[in-house]
Structure 1
Amino acid sequence: MTVSISHVHVLVDDPDAALAFYRDTLGLTVRNEVSQGGFRWITLATASQPEIQIVLSQPHAGRSQEDGDALAALLAKGELRPLQFSSDNLDETFEKVAGSPGADVVQEPVSQPWGARDAAVRDPAGNMVRIEQS
């Protein structure tokens, strides 16, 4: 039996701003986009790992009002789990990400005590995005 990761869901409050960040800044490719009931789901993937897709969706999409409100509150506080990417050129990637609209620099590139060299930003929705040198 083989099990692998296929999709990772990321909550965003503004699909257009998130799309600009993940597609235009990080270079992910849009694989699918669905609108339903006033909400959008946008599926993206990297060229190097097209089998692992990131799904951008809004907190209230497909959820009760109460659950959507709870997730929206966590998103607004920046309390959702981070996304972690790797790059073959951290400095170049960081410069592009740090200069993108809506991105908030949390940590410039630094060598960590555990051996990784990484940086951190918040996407336009406030999600933590960490990028590590591969």
Structure 2
Amino acid sequence: MNLTIHATFLPHDDPEAALAFYRDTLGFEVRGDVGYGGMRWITVGPAGQPGTSIVLHPPAADPGITEDERRIIAEMMAKGTYGMLTLATDDLDGIFDRLQAGDAEVVQEPTDQPYGVRDCAFRDPAGNMIRINQLG
């Protein structure tokens, strides 16, 4: 059996800011941009990896959640504790410089972790924690 990651979902609260970050700063391809009921679902992914995508979704889209739950989600997004994504690159310092120049919120500069990984961390415009690991 061959199992792959097809898509993961991260919330966004500003589609234009999400596009600027994921497309313009990170360099991901836009694979879909669908609007419905005043909300937008944006699918992005790394060039050369057409089978792996990130779907940026409006957190309020689920009709089964209450107003209190929507408020809690918004609070968690603002603190960076609702969504998280780990990416990998062969040029951590280069991507760090690009993200920093693009005004992304730096959480952690490139650091050699005691568990053997060199990484950095940012928050996307919605507050999601984005960690980036150095490959190799």
- Equivalent AA in structure 2 for residue 24 of structure 1: D
Identity of aligned residues (%): 49
- Equivalent AA in structure 1 for residue 74 of structure 2: A
Please give the per-residue CA displacement for 1:31-73, whole angstroms capped at 9, x wherever unaligned. Answer: 0110000000000110132211100011112334534333222
CA contact (8 A) 2:77 2:83 kept: no
SS in 1 for 2:41: strand
CA contact (8 A) 2:10 2:84 kept: no
Q: 2:72 aligns with which of 61, 70, 73?
A: 70
Partner of 1:118: 119
Residues of 2 paired with 1:86 and 1:98: CA distance? 17
SS in 2 for 1:2: coil
User: CA 1:122–1:95 in 2, change beyond 3 Å: closer, same or farther?
Assistant: same
Q: 2:98 aligns with which of 96, 99, 102?
A: 96
- Equivalent AA in structure 2 for residue 112 of structure 1: Q
User: CA 1:58–1:124 in 2, change beyond 3 Å: closer, same or farther?
Assistant: same
- Equivalent AA in structure 2 for residue 104 of structure 1: E
User: CA 1:31–1:24 in 2, change beyond 3 Å: closer, same or farther?
Assistant: same
> Can you give the 5+ residue segments of structure 2 that lack an aligned partner in the other structure?
none
Give the alignment's Cα RMSD to 1 decimal. Answer: 1.4
Residues of 2 paired with 1:62 and 1:81: CA distance? 16
CA contact (8 A) 1:29 1:46 kept: yes
TM-score (norm 1): 0.91
Aligned residues: 133
TM-score (norm 2): 0.90
Alignment of 1:41 with 2:54, yes or no, is no
Residues of 2 paired with 1:133 and 1:50: CA distance? 22
CA contact (8 A) 1:59 1:69 kept: no
SS in 1 for 2:132: strand
